């Protein structure tokens, strides 16, 4: 791995934090390979010299979006450990796994620089005291946020076009279902229908 020489005894004396995240429970359920790949970072930490008892896995943010860091207890734990200089390195598959907001990433990277905490992704070991590493990780974080913004814009932008053609399907309330592409009817199941009649 690139940058292995940046790992020192000082870094190994503090825990290696393996941070796992997937944006939705659907991803956790359907994309198990990604979760497995993230857990495999434990092996990478061991290869870089951390002992098993000095490797901490934080996976409580599986199924929670990275758009809002304040809602993620795992991310807060990572930031707290870095801030208190209780982490030798933070491991993630890529910088965008840490946070979707470039502001959150920038704060974490600055704390890592101040506390001599390494950031390790699938490409290399990054030392935030090194300007080139700081620049590279900053660009990766900004690129990830821009990518998310562009993809979301494309997805949302397609909805008015589909609606204008009459092809936009939206989920119907419980108790209703589509008969044909443009006709809705009551669900054949009487339980949702009786519930609906009480509400409406």
* Residues assigned a catalytic role: 23
Strand 118-120 with 125-127, pairing: antiparallel
**183: which 2 tokens?**
């006709």
CA atoms within 13 A on the CB side of 66: 23
Q: How far apart are CA 42 and CA 148, in angstroms?
A: 28
- The H-or-E segment that residue 90 falls in is strand 89-91
Asked if 14 and 88 touch (Cβ cutoff 8 Å), the reply is yes
CA distance 69 to 85: 20
- Check: CB of residue 87 under 8 Å from CB of residue 7: no
Geometric angle at alpha carbon 140, from 76 and 7, rounded to 5°: 70
Any idea which residue has 């941070």 for tokens? Answer: 19
Q: What is the largest CA-CA distance in the chain?
A: 69
């Amino acid at each position: 791995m690139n940058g292995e020489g940046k790992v020192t005894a000082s870094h190994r004396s503090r825990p290696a934090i393996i941070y796992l995240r997937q944006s939705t429970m659907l991803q956790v359920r359907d994309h198990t390979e990604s979760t497995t790949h993230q857990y495999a970072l434990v092996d990478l930490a061991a290869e870089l010299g951390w002992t098993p008892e000095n490797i901490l896995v934080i996976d409580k943010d599986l199924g929670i979006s990275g758009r809002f860091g304040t809602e993620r207890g795992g991310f807060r734990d990572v930031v707290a450990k870095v801030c208190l200089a209780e982490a030798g390195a933070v491991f993630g598959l890529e910088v965008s796994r840490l946070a979707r907001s470039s502001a959150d990433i920038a704060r974490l990277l600055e704390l890592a620089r101040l506390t001599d905490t390494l950031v390790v992704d699938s490409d290399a070991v990054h030392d935030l005291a090194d300007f080139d590493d700081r620049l590279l990780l900053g660009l990766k974080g900004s690129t990830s946020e821009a990518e998310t913004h562009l993809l979301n814009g494309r997805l949302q932008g397609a909805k008015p076009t589909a609606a204008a053609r009459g092809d936009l399907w939206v989920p119907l309330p419980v108790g209703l279902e589509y008969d044909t592409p443009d006709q809705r009817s009551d669900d054949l199941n009487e339980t949702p229908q009786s519930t609906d009649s009480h509400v409406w």
